[in-house]
Amino acid sequence: MTSAAAPLFETLTVVGPGLIGASVLHRGRRDGTLAKKLIAVDINPTFRERVRQLGIADEVTDDLAGAAAQSDCVMLCVPVGAMGEVAATAIPAMKPGAILTDTGSTKVSVIDAIRPSLRPDVPYVPAHPMAGTEYSGPDAGFATLFDNRWCLLTPLDGMPDTATTAITTLWELCGARTRTMTPEHHDRVCAIVSHLPHLLAFTICGTADDLADETRSEVLEFAASGFRDFTRIASSDPIMWRDIFLSNREAVLEMLSRFLEDAQAMARAIRWGDSDYIVDRIERGRAIRRSLLENRQA
Ligand SMILES: NC(=O)c1ccc[n+]([C@@H]2O[C@H](COP(=O)([O-])OP(=O)(O)OC[C@H]3O[C@@H](n4cnc5c(N)ncnc54)[C@H](O)[C@@H]3O)[C@@H](O)[C@H]2O)c1
Ligand SMILES: O=C(O)C(=O)C[C@]1(C(=O)O)C=C[C@@H](O)C=C1
């Protein structure tokens, strides 16, 4: 009989058991590979009660320092604007050698916010699982969220390789594939593949709604699946997305201005009847969709 491998950590604390944090806890609960003991910390009493009811943590508390003091790994899953403050409470309480990590959707500003609290004996490994849904809070979490999705790691110079290896293993145990890159590159990549699409979705829904008000017409009533696909993204959490836009300001604005130039070019092609240009852009879109679907199936 083969014995199961020992869990990666003795104790893992998830701070902010919302969509991402609760999904990690579900995964940890499912096969016990992440940690012997799972702790959930949240400031919201209703969410703490929900996590207790879901049974996905061994301990649920609002005492961040107390939880951090018991843990071999503390994972911050709070909105990016709260990372600095939460890290400032957790890090002083952590055991020497325990690892701090986060799941924030932006990396440069999160690292800048956490850096002043860092201790030489507490390695920090920033990470970002490229998986999610439009839902938030503990009820949104599920164990398979990260299966076959990327988790991007942006390790800092001078941190021990063992810490990066442990966080890589954690995400692989969660079902993800991992890739390492600089925080700056991460933020530019995410600005185009995640942050700009959300900005467009929030904006187009607002524009359609304004038009419906102005014309007192049923613009939204006839929305079929194209517009509905935008509304799914646009229903994402306002605090999370406010924080992402403000913390990745430069890269988001750069990608937005690139996009606006390309949209202008499309407008010009439509105005002057440049069919070749229009067809070329649409074909590029179809090719991208096809390659994404092929990769997802691989
Ligand atoms: N939603 C996504 O698709 C997605 C994907 C990848 C990464 N992320 C990132 O992961 C993080 C969590 O996102 P989410 O979608 O799980 O958010 P969420 O809103 O579902 O959960 C956040 C949780 O943090 C708690 N919280 C907020 N401030 C806190 C504090 N000071 N102390 C303790 N708990 C606090 C909230 O009560 C909530 O339970 C964010 O940084 C986000 O940018 C999100
Ligand atoms: O699938 C969705 O609904 C998401 O918005 C997930 C999504 C994304 O844009 O792909 C959102 C933010 C993250 O930081 C990572 C993933």
Task: Produce one character per residue of 217-241: b if its CB has 16 or more CB atoms within 10 Å, e if not.
Answer: eebeeeeeeeeeebeebbebbeebb
Ligand nearest to the CA of 247: 1
Cβ(31)–Cβ(6) below 8 Å: no
Q: Report the residue among 23, 77, 105 best suited for mutation to probe ligand 2: largest number of ligand atoms under 8 A from its CB.
A: 105
Rounded distance from Cα 103 to ligand 1 centre (Å): 8
Rounded distance from Cα 138 to ligand 2 centre (Å): 17
What local confidence, expressed as pLDDT, does residue 1 receive?
Answer: 46
What stretch(es) of the chain map to CATH 3.40.50.720? 9-181
Say whether pLDDT at 86 is over 60. yes
What local confidence, expressed as pLDDT, does residue 221 receive?
Answer: 78
Write out the E strands in 66-129: 73-76, 99-102, 124-129
Ligand nearest to the CA of 234: 2
What local confidence, expressed as pLDDT, does residue 3 receive?
Answer: 52
What local confidence, expressed as pLDDT, does residue 298 receive?
Answer: 56
What local confidence, expressed as pLDDT, does residue 191 receive?
Answer: 98
What stretch(es) of the chain map to CATH 1.10.3660.10? 185-294
What local confidence, expressed as pLDDT, does residue 296 receive?
Answer: 74
Ligand 1 pocket (Cβ < 6 Å) reads 15-21, 41-44, 47, 77-80, 82, 86, 103-105, 128-129, 132, 136-137, 140, 237, 240, 244
Mean pLDDT along residues 46-57: 98
- Of residues 123 and 293, more confidence is placed in 123
Query: Is 0.85 exceeded by the ipTM?
Result: yes
- Of residues 295 and 102, more confidence is placed in 102
- Of residues 65 and 31, more confidence is placed in 65
Instruction: Please report, rounded to a whole number, the percentage of residues in the chain having pLDDT higher than 90.
Output: 88
What local confidence, expressed as pLDDT, does residue 93 receive?
Answer: 98
Which residue's C-alpha comes closest to atom 24 of ligand 1? 16
Rounded distance from Cα 197 to ligand 2 centre (Å): 10
> Which contacts qualify for 243-246: CB closer than 8 Å, 24 or more apart?
243/79, 243/80, 243/81, 243/82, 244/80, 244/105, 244/106, 244/195, 244/198, 245/195, 245/199, 246/81
Q: Which residues, at least 6 apart from 115, have a Cβ–Cβ distance to it below 8 Å?
A: none
The predicted-structure confidence for 111-165, as pLDDT tens digits, reads as follows: 999 999 999 999 999 999 999 999 999 999 999 999 999 999 999 999 999 999 9
Q: Report the residue among 77, 194, 255 best suited for mutation to probe ligand 2: largest number of ligand atoms under 8 A from its CB.
A: 194
Rounded distance from Cα 50 to ligand 2 centre (Å): 23
- Of residues 1 and 220, more confidence is placed in 220
Mean pLDDT along residues 30-48: 97
Rounded distance from Cα 156 to ligand 1 centre (Å): 22
Question: Which homologous superfamily does the CATH classification assign to the domain defined by 9-181?
Answer: NAD(P)-binding Rossmann-like Domain (3.40.50.720)
Ligand nearest to the CA of 101: 1
The predicted-structure confidence for 261-289, as pLDDT tens digits, reads as follows: 999 999 999 999 999 999 999 999 999 99
Ligand nearest to the CA of 243: 1
Q: Which residues, at least 6 apart from 182, have a Cβ–Cβ distance to it below 8 Å?
A: 154
Ligand nearest to the CA of 242: 1
What local confidence, expressed as pLDDT, does residue 165 receive?
Answer: 98
The predicted-structure confidence for 214-264, as pLDDT tens digits, reads as follows: 776 777 777 778 889 999 999 999 999 999 999 999 999 999 999 999 999
Q: Report the residue among 77, 102, 233 best suited for mutation to probe ligand 1: largest number of ligand atoms under 8 A from its CB.
A: 77
Ligand 2 pocket (Cβ < 6 Å) reads 105, 130-134, 194, 233, 236
The chain-wide mean pLDDT, for the chain, equals: 95
The predicted-structure confidence for 11-38, as pLDDT tens digits, reads as follows: 999 999 999 999 999 999 999 999 999 9
Which atom belonging to ligand 2 lies closest to the Cα atom of 134?
3
The predicted-structure confidence for 133-148, as pLDDT tens digits, reads as follows: 999 999 999 999 999 9
Mean pLDDT along residues 174-202: 98
Instruction: Please report, rounded to a whole number, the percentage of residues in the chain having pLDDT higher than 70.
Output: 98
CATH topology assigned to domain 185-294: 6-phosphogluconate dehydrogenase C-terminal fold (1.10.3660)
Which atom belonging to ligand 2 lies closest to the Cα atom of 197?
9
